[in-house]
Amino acid sequence: MTTPPPTADDLQALAEAVNLAEIEALGRARLDRNALEYYASGANDGHTLRANREDLATLRLRPRMLVDVSHIDTSAEVLGLPLDFPVGIAPSAFHGLAHADAERATARAAAAAGSVMTLSTFSNTPIEEVGQAAAGRLWFQLYLLRDRELSRAVIARAEASGARALVFTVDAPYLGRREANERHHFALPPHLSAPHVVSRAELAQVETDTGSQLTHYFQNLVDKAFTWNDLGWLRAQTRLPIVLKGILTAEDAELAVQHGCHVWVSNHGGRQLDTAVSAVAALPEVADAVAGRAEVYLDGGVTRGTDVLKAVALGARAVFLGRAALWGLAAGGEAGVRQTLELLRAEVRLALALSGKQNLRQVGRDLLMR
């Protein structure tokens, strides 16, 4: 089923939304069960999915008073790319389930907001088209495929399309068990495909009578034997900075730095190993291990400007939105993603001011209760 275009009433409701929770409700209401369950599901019982938000909410701020906050600077920088505020779009598959403009709309919104979009290997839109829409504000997320030549070709396409970084997802040699997707046999509708890795005709041959179509396809796609020793091969394929997405421990953060990579703290939105540590709970030990030798990012549960400040205080250079961007896309296409980013930017600015901070450089662990 195709998500219908937003109506005038949908766009009016979007314009009146005052926070990301309201945009989420609007987006959820416009999706069919197949799409909604794919976007919303976590692994198993959803403990890690919930912990991502709950652990952010549990952290308490220590605001300072009588500071000149008449001028607030929310700007940040990731790998040399200036951002209007420290928020980007995380890689997530199948934006076409939410809106006909799919990843193009998300990329345009990110560029207009001075942000950056990370395009998934499982995009519904070819990277060449997204690169044009992203206007120089594009990273590309890679699943390392068993077919190394296909991986090499995808990396080359990403570079040629203007990607500024290669984000290698390291936490998914197998897909976590997302039970709603298994129960209701998640499958892409016939008009969508994943053009970086599979054609519509090939996808149509993947079993959908039992379990999730994506799980059936993924199990034979990704290289499950890839280890730290193989990162040299990946480095040889690209001139781009490499970011390892899915790091949750100090030990792996240290290895990432030793291999010349940047670090993205993530548990895949709670979709892989249930009861794994939340992203924000893992962030301090990862940041301490990296110790400024590489950049550190985070995704997972961010829905408020105060969440962004907490992550920055604990050592993240920027945070990335996964589901929140998809809810905005479903609610109103490009306008919905743009509204999501603009609301969050305003919240970051206000949170800085009320914390007695003039800019993000002043945000450190002293902002948080010990």
| In the chain, domain spans | 8-359
Backbone Cα Rg of the chain? 19
Q: How confident is the model at residue 247 (pLDDT cuts 50, 70, 90)?
A: very high
Tokens of 291: 């110790």
In this predicted structure, the answer to whether residue 152 has a pLDDT above a threshold of 70 is yes
Q: How confident is the model at residue 266 (pLDDT cuts 50, 70, 90)?
A: very high
C-alpha span between 113 and 298 (Å, rounded): 19
Name the pTM for this structure.
Answer: 0.96
Q: Which amino acid is at 135?
A: A
C-alpha span between 51 and 265 (Å, rounded): 14
Give, for 168, the enclosing helix (H) or strand (E). Answer: strand 166-169
Among candidate residues 95, 196, 262, 268, the one labeled active-site is 268
Query: How many secondary structure helices (H) and strands (E) does the chain include?
Result: 16, 10
pLDDT score, position 211: 74
Burial of 87 (0-12, 13-18, 19+ CB in 10 A): buried
77 C-beta neighbours (distance < 10 Å), count: 13
- DSSP codes of every residue in 13-33: HHHH--SHHHHHHHHHHTS-H
In this predicted structure, the answer to whether residue 216 has a pLDDT above a threshold of 90 is no
**What is the architecture, at CATH level 2, of domain 8-359?**
Alpha-Beta Barrel (3.20)
C-alpha span between 207 and 212 (Å, rounded): 8
158-209 pLDDT, tens digit each: 999 999 999 999 999 999 999 999 999 898 998 898 999 875 556 555 656 6
**What mean pLDDT, rounded, does the chain reach?**
95
Q: Could you tell me how many residues make up the chain?
A: 370
pLDDT score, position 213: 79
Q: What is the mean pLDDT of residues 60-71?
A: 98
C-alpha span between 134 and 169 (Å, rounded): 21
SS3 48: helix
Q: Where are the beta strands (DSSP E) in 222-367?
A: 242-247, 262-265, 296-299, 318-321
Q: What is the mean pLDDT of residues 310-335?
A: 98
Please indicate whether residue 268 is annotated as part of the active site. Answer: yes
